[in-house]
Chains A and B, each alone.
Chain A
């Protein structure tokens, strides 16, 4: 797949992206990666496979939980991930700290131009 921006997401933000994607609705891996691309309008793109170790880590931390579910559109099953209550809390916390960071960055960059 041609990679229009080639921009790798910042380290650590993969977790946030996954949590955010799952906050909308529980999904399987491919759907999560698809959603992240859609939501970021293709800006945030990553090596799709690297999503899975991140999912495994989040599951082990108890932020998300996984279960095998039958896919409606085809005769296969998929491992579907969903946010846990803990994950929900972590998402809120991470979002807040990311926002603070972004605001700070913005201020710094705006100041430079003066």
Chain B
């Protein structure tokens, strides 16, 4: 133990010395010189003459050069020196074969770089804990419905839950919403959150400047405060610290800025730029809507799963204590707790896992290719290696050298790969949709470097081993004798062919996967959205309570606005809706047929639920199938609604829906008469079924708070560039404080919804392309090599009368066998993998024949193209030349 410890210490001391060896040598000289001088001085002081004193001193010291060498020996680290020498040698020998080195390094760097980029994203988004203190204690809280959907919670629940569940250390609720900001420039609509004070304590985050609001300010009358995001502070207020304490007008209300959040704080999502208190009125909470999202911080040591029975009990008690209202149901099944991390990344997990799998296939492919290149090079160097072995190169030293060489190769590729990963991450960030979670945290860093280093070591060692194994059993004497070694070993050739087959199989699997996603995209874009997007513009605005306190004021404003917009030249139709299709955010309502008994404990059928002005359906191009559309007069008298075809089918299967009546709402239900049936609209986007939908006239909306957030929909078929300006001007004339936000064409919105799987498709497609390229290069490489090795054989054949075409056919036949074997193996691999893709597919089966056939066709084409060059060269072998070479 002790000697080992000492040896380790000595090794470490010498390693520390390594970088300053030159200086150490100078110091040794200085030390020796001083010694000699002192000894000479001592002798001189005893009366010896100076010259004699110096001579004697040197004699007593012994050979200076011998001691110097002993000191140097004591500073040497033999292993390191061997390694340094091997690395130098490896670099030299790699430089001498630039074509091989370039191809191998580039292929490997491509594979490792792509893998590094995807790994960086996966690590930052899926693996790393959220940037909050003790993030594992933070959960989101949901109310599950019997049909498997989950919803937010109601205001009474938000008030009651923290007190009733002791395991909740903090609980916060929030809802996103638009705010009209009139400060620091043009009126602008920004997205913000009404959030209870508990949000900040549940997340465990405070303000970067100033403070966040507390419970005292989260109460009605006391809540005129606002906390800004770092981004909004920079953009609208120039990062001025004096913004604290400033009064800003938000939705017509004056609020005091009390804090600015840290730049990294992006909760609930990056779009949210300010936070104001929810300030629920405990005396009169809003009962009807589950619009609040909830986040809780559990007490330390609480097991979320073990809380289920308690949450169920609390839910039952709440159901008994809180009166039931329209549209909501107090759920006795309890509440679901989902770790916040899961909530945040659930949408992208499957995509990222798919990309990781894809990129690992690419890396494998690259490795197979480089292994092949190495083997080819090794064959070519058999002679050199045999000479080395014959000259007494120890087997272990040769192995060490082979290892060093492949590690140097991998390390070079690794360095390049880090750069590629960096570029790849930037490309990913540019390609990813804005709502992709945690993108701000994605950066090439330690994790990327560590993963790349691991890949370098693994691939380097793997290549070294393969090469060493291939070199096993070479008999130096035989090799040296027949210097031109006619044919490569059969086993080695088979192994190399197997590597090519593996590459082809991997490429086929990748292309098949990309093909499936491509077909999904195609199927999604082929699906009719149910609206006519041509020439339709949309924009959002929000009517604040401060300026329009009553429902009738909002409704009057809405009517005036639509009128004004309809008068804009070029506008064919205009209307308002509270939730535009494919834009997220919607509400549902329960319905019941008259005469059906109401069951207390049963969830009524749910319908997508919109309030619209009469022109909306025309403006969006939703076809009226039967009956009439809404008119401005649908305010008094019998309550009327339009239903979508899906709802008509569900409520009155096989019967006409016109004139039929529906109970809508909770206990205080109201009977509504169906006056028209309209076409189905893909409200949740392509790939999701069109929900059964109810259209209420905005002016006659019967329950709760009137809708204040609107999307204006304008149809202007031959819109000149001027239409939008005129529409904005019309809004400004009516109320100069109301900005029109998120102005987009309806076609853009539909395209964006269809583009959901685009990121995965583009990236997997890119991986497949890279894979195909590498596999093609692999085919080319192995054939070109075979041809060059067999020139003599073909030369003889042709000399004996074989037609060049026959030789060409032979090479192409070899190619065909490789492709056939590769395709078969690839089809198996693809089938095994495709099931994992299922969640990302729509409208195609995971074993979609066109995807696989297309991939195979592409593979065959590329492989044949790769094989053609070598085949031509084979048929042009000049028998006379090759035979003379012998």
Contacts and interface: CB of A to CB of B under 8 A. Distances in A.
User: Is B a genuine binding partner of A?
Assistant: yes
Interface of A: 1, 28-30, 33-34, 47-50, 52-53, 56-57, 59-62, 76-79
Given A1-B60, A30-B38, A60-B9, A49 B32 contact: yes
Contacts of B57: 1
A36 B14 CA distance: 28
B9 A30 contact: no
Contacts of B459: none
B349 interface: no
A56 B62 contact: no
Given A48-B39, A53-B70, A78-B34, 19 more contacts: A1-B43, A28-B31, A28-B34, A29-B31, A48-B60, A49-B32, A50-B70, A52-B31, A53-B73, A56-B74, A56-B75, A60-B10, A60-B13, A61-B6, A61-B10, A77-B30, A78-B31, A79-B27, A79-B30
Interface of B: 6, 9-10, 13-14, 27-28, 30-32, 34-35, 37-39, 42-43, 56-57, 59-64, 66-67, 70-71, 73-75
18 contacts: A28-B34, A30-B38, A30-B39, A34-B42, A48-B39, A48-B62, A50-B67, A52-B71, A53-B70, A57-B10, A59-B13, A60-B9, A60-B14, A61-B10, A76-B34, A76-B37, A77-B30, A79-B30
Contacts of A30: 34-35, 38-39
A29 B33 CA distance: 11
Nearest to B37: A76
Main SS class of interface, A: helix
Nearest 7 A-B pairs (CB), nearest first?
A: A49-B67, A47-B62, A60-B13, A49-B62, A53-B70, A1-B60, A30-B38
A48 B566 CA distance: 108
A62 B71 contact: no
A64 to B, nearest CB: 12
A88 B9 CA distance: 17
A52 B28 contact: yes
Contacts of B13: 59-62
A76 B32 CA distance: 13
Contacts of A57: 10, 74
A48 B62 CA distance: 7
A76 B64 CA distance: 20
A49 B31 CA distance: 10
Nearest to A47: B62
B62 A50 contact: yes
A59 to B, nearest CB: 7
A61 B12 CA distance: 9
B256 to A, nearest CB: 64
Contacts of B6: 61
A77 B376 CA distance: 60
A1 B31 contact: no
A47 to B, nearest CB: 4
A60 B13 CA distance: 5
A53 B30 CA distance: 15
Contacts of B32: 49, 52
Contacts of B30: 77, 79
Contact of B61 (A49, A62, A78): A49
B217 to A, nearest CB: 62
A53 to B, nearest CB: 4
Contact of A1 (B28, B59, B63): B59
B763 to A, nearest CB: 53
Nearest to B10: A60
Nearest to A53: B70
Nearest to A31: B38
Contact of B66 (A33, A49, A61): A49
